[in-house]
Amino acid sequence: MYKHTNTFLAASLLLAFGCGDTATTGEGAEIADALELENGGLTMEDEAPAFGEPEAFDGIGEYDTVEDQINQDPEVVDMRERPDAVQVNLIVEWGQIPGNPENETPRNWSGVFHVNRGAMIVQRVIKFEERTDRLLPRPDRQHVPFTSVTLPHYDGMILTIIDPEPQSDEPLVFSYVSPLPRNADPSTDETAREETDTRPDEPQTIVRVPVRDLVEGRVELLIDDAGNRMVAAAVARPLDICERGFLAGRWHKVEDGRGRFIGRVMHDDGEPAGHIRGIYGRRDNGEQVFFGKFINLEGEFKGIFGGNYGEGHFRGRWLHRSGEHGVLGGVYREGIPGPETGGHFVGRWAETSCNLDL
């Protein structure tokens, strides 16, 4: 098979957030009090794995490991071994972000991702469903064709881009083209003939973005009138060995001006690194802050993620017992109060030694 399931109910994306009842004013007051404390009142002690609430993470979309044969291609192996080659890990999500159970209009995202040089390797797929979503046979190392239909939620991928010529005058460009030309779509099942297939005869959507922009923080690639979005975050692998990766999950509004978030933390290749749980809101002085506790898969304390948020963006520091350890940043979208829907966040984190500007 092209991929095998290694379910990593992970990072991103959308998490089932604990209790099912609409949050009360008492919870909002509890958050407000905690926001005034150092690090949001969070401790630096170890916790039980998944904060002792693994069921709270069971609703996260499945991250399935992919066995991409391109990874074993001799030319790709040669690229990877070049001393001047650059590797960029990229997470891309598309659909209703955050999930919208009231959305009744499906969108067919079937298309192709492309880079103009080097190679692209699929590491994981996010929330792919067998009936509508699949990776298609790859024609070469620079194209990743796929089928995907979303309705109330979203799909995604984690990709690795290898650039063998980072000093080239021509920028490295990541592209998304949809729909696939019908004569180039090898799918022969009934999916393409169902009513969810809304693909026109000619390409409708073309997105091109320099990879450098993704590394520097550009995340929203497109948005349509139905509220569907495509977002991306990228991390360039530095020469020095240091910890870095992605984080993603649910940004849950409890009441105006405050809420909770819960998510997964991944290494930059999509491997699970741990969990995060925290609070956000407006302090008495008007400052909008967030604090989250990061633990590894065994529950061992990894740090406090804390900083500021506003206008859809968050940025902060990674604190450890010994002091400042790294940085993080990303985007969020706040959900309405209640159990039926919730917000979403996706971002990047890195040790200070990575020298990454997030």
Cα distances (angstroms) measured from residue 187 to each of 63, 190, 203: 23, 9, 17
Cβ distance 123 to 45 under 8 Å? Answer: no
Contact of 310 with 235, CB cutoff 8 Å: no
pLDDT of residue 336: 59
The answer on pLDDT for 301 being more than 60 is yes
Band of pLDDT at residue 74, cut at 50, 70 and 90: very high
How does pLDDT run across 229-261, given as a tens digit for each residue?
999 989 887 655 688 899 988 898 999 999 999
Of 5-19, 20-34, 149-163, highest mean pLDDT: 149-163
303 vs 274: CA distance, rounded Å: 11
pLDDT tens by residue, 111-123:
999 999 999 999 9
Task: Using the predicted structure, report yes or no on whether residue 180 has a pLDDT greater than 60.
Answer: yes
Give me the pLDDT at residue 187, please. 39
Largest CA distance in the chain: 61
User: 3-class SS at 204?
Assistant: coil
* Mean pLDDT of all residues belonging to the chain: 83
> For the chain, how many residues are written?
358
CA dihedral 32, 38, 40, 41 (to 10 degrees): -100
| Segment 64-74 mean pLDDT | 93
Are 317 and 326 within 8 A, CB to CB? yes
Tell which residue, 13, 142, 135, 123, has the closest CA to residue 75.
Answer: 142
Distances (CA, A) of 70 to 82, 90, 163, 242: 17, 17, 15, 26
pLDDT value at residue 353: 77
Answer whether 0.85 is exceeded by the pTM. no
Say how far apart CA 242 and CA 249 lie, in whole Å. 23
Start-to-end C-alpha separation, the chain: 37
Is pLDDT of 337 > 80? no
pLDDT of residue 191: 36
**Does the structure show a pLDDT above 70 at 176?**
yes
Q: Could you read off the pLDDT of 188-206 as tens digits, one per residue?
A: 333 333 333 444 455 578 9
Look at residue 11 in the predicted model and tell me its pLDDT: 36
- Nearest 10 degrees: CA dihedral of 254, 298, 59, 272? 110
What 3-state DSSP class applies to 214?
helix
Residue 15 above 90 pLDDT? no
pLDDT band at 275 (very low <50, low <70, confident <90, very high): very high
Please state the rounded mean pLDDT for residues 336-352.
75
Distance CA 319, CA 137 (A): 44
DSSP 254-282: EETTEEEEEEEEEETTS-EEEEEEEEEEE
